[in-house]
Amino acid sequence: MSIIGIEEIFLAVKNMEKSIEFYNGILGIPIDKQDSERTYLQTERGHIVLQIINHTGRHNGGGPLHFAFTVTEDSFDEISEKFKGGMYFTRGPYGEKGKGRALFIIDPDGNEAEINTRYLYGTPKRN
């Protein structure tokens, strides 16, 4: 089994402007996309999403923290197989082999862990 790296982390933030100043202004992580509730900061091999507390959008039920691991296609199949049977709550898998797949898993503490293959095929495009 091979976890290649961390693909994304969703961070709950209280003040978007201060968070953008820290991650973009001081650390220099480029902004890829922004809306009224979240800001996507893109690194070469992953991204950070700053998401305002009490948001209405993605990962609302994803626990205190959402994070995603990039895995190989073979590892995706191997890990997905381990979660069949319902011992943990999952969503997915979604997507197509060779184009990017994702599986969402709630860990024992209520955090939402994701495995996916998107970064194997370049930087994901956001609409």
Domains present along the chain, CATH in parentheses: 3-121 (3.10.180.10)
Q: pLDDT grade, residue 62 (50/70/90)?
A: low
**Residue 57: pLDDT over 80:** no
Spatial neighbors of 49 by CB under 8 A, at least 6 apart, are 8, 9, 10, 11, 38, 39, 40, 41
Q: What was the pLDDT predicted at 55?
A: 75
Give mean pLDDT, residues 26-41. 92
Q: pLDDT grade, residue 81 (50/70/90)?
A: very high
Q: Which residue has the tokens 């996309």?
A: 33
Q: 0.85 exceeded by the pTM?
A: no
pLDDT tens profile 9-32 = 988 888 999 999 999 998 899 999
- Between 125 and 82, the more confident residue is 82
